[in-house]
Structure 1
């Protein structure tokens, strides 16, 4: 069991952008970053919600790697793990989850005490914290609104990782407090009907869908494409 857990930790760490990451993957993230920054440039809200239709689509990986690439521009970024049912972001960077969002929202910690500083250059993180019995209520509370407001005053970008919205409604609780949502789908896993259901859920609450990121794409048959996990493509129609 210990070996399996260590293997999972190493697998998550290997998905983070670093000096050994393939050029095509780095460029794909930079392209997504550019589109995201343009999409949020006219909004006064600084928070961006990352979610998916179903588990294991790659939303947490997308969130943290876009946080890294955005911080590389010199922007001050904070990532909040709001998936308090199945938190994972602390494992990517091997942090303790003993403190974090759940404790702050319950009034057991200050924002400063919940924060991990300089996880990467220009990037701070609030982990999910111990799993609470009422995550939906906490995310819809005034404490969550105050947290996003406070973070927006101190950071250029606030990236919030939330649970899959077709599974639980937690992510929808935060969308109207944010500039919008990025919906992550996985090729050969996410079904069109499930993706459309997630899109409809966002639209039904008048949320702003910033875009859809498709992960694990194989595009070797495209005339111009990257053939790694995250893709940018051009094809004549």
Structure 2
């Protein structure tokens, strides 16, 4: 598959500390997370990982973006997908357009090769959410979504998907069922233990494999 990607500037990206300050302590922590995920994956080749959180403002999107950058800096070919079709944010974090994205691919208005963007950070590609539509759960549960993931995974070392909060909408359960593993992000001063355990039950009910939990001390 030959991918013709539209380019966007990688400078001044909001909350991308792994890009703007790679020598910082926080960047080193993300490198540790990256390494741990590789150890967890081991020989199982969990190529599609979902990043979610129990509720809003717990840092999952910023975490997903920085993990993706950290992996790409290791010369891995990474695809980061904004699967939060209700309240997308990856286009804002990477300062790129959201004119064409996942929803356009799923509705047949665009093909993946025309919708994916190069971040110009290593080999990190980004598929933004696209236009906000009224039927996100139906789109994510469609055969087209399954086909898309089957199509793109052979061309990337890791596919990361940022999703809505696990306890708010059914979308996350749908995406989790399509992924090889789930990383749950919790925020120290916001997430209560009941929400964390409830998220675990919700994801396990969706037959998702939780491969790790990240404690976030910063707001996203």
The TM-score with structure 1 as length reference comes to: 0.83
In structure 2, the partner of 1:145 is: 146
Say yes or no: does 1:89 pair with 2:96.
no
Contact kept in structure 2, 1:99 and 1:127, CA below 8 Å: yes
Say yes or no: does 1:213 pair with 2:214.
yes
Gaps of 5+ in 1: 1-9, 217-228, 231-237
In structure 2, the residue corresponding to 1:83 is in which secondary structure?
coil
In structure 2, the partner of 1:42 is: 43
Gaps of 5+ in 2: 1-10
Q: Kindly state the Cα deviation for residue 121 of structure 1 after the two structures are TM-superposed.
A: 1.4
Q: Kindly state the Cα deviation for residue 44 of structure 1 after the two structures are TM-superposed.
A: 4.0
Say yes or no: does 1:112 pair with 2:113.
yes
Contact kept in structure 1, 2:22 and 2:28, CA below 8 Å: no
In structure 1, the partner of 2:29 is: 28
Contact kept in structure 1, 2:16 and 2:65, CA below 8 Å: no
Distance in 2 (alpha carbons) for counterparts of 1:119 and 1:208: 31
Larger Rg, first or second structure (1 or 2): 1
Q: Kindly state the Cα deviation for residue 14 of structure 1 after the two structures are TM-superposed.
A: 3.9
In structure 2, the partner of 1:183 is: 184
Residues 57 and 149 from structure 1, CA distance in 2 versus in 1: closer, same or farther, beyond 3 angstroms? same
In structure 2, the partner of 1:62 is: 63
Q: Kindly state the Cα deviation for residue 41 of structure 1 after the two structures are TM-superposed.
A: 2.6
Q: Kindly state the Cα deviation for residue 19 of structure 1 after the two structures are TM-superposed.
A: 4.6
Contact kept in structure 2, 1:45 and 1:152, CA below 8 Å: no
Distance in 2 (alpha carbons) for counterparts of 1:50 and 1:12: 20
Contact kept in structure 2, 1:79 and 1:123, CA below 8 Å: yes
Contact kept in structure 2, 1:185 and 1:215, CA below 8 Å: yes
In structure 2, the partner of 1:156 is: 157
Distance in 2 (alpha carbons) for counterparts of 1:118 and 1:56: 24
In structure 1, the residue corresponding to 2:19 is in which secondary structure?
coil
In structure 1, the partner of 2:5 is: none
Q: Displaced runs of 4+ in structure 1, greater than 6 A? A: none
Contact kept in structure 1, 2:79 and 2:160, CA below 8 Å: yes
> How many pairs are equivalent?
209
Contact kept in structure 2, 1:103 and 1:130, CA below 8 Å: yes
Contact kept in structure 2, 1:57 and 1:215, CA below 8 Å: yes
Q: Kindly state the Cα deviation for residue 162 of structure 1 after the two structures are TM-superposed.
A: 0.3
Contact kept in structure 1, 2:177 and 2:208, CA below 8 Å: yes
In structure 2, the partner of 1:193 is: 194
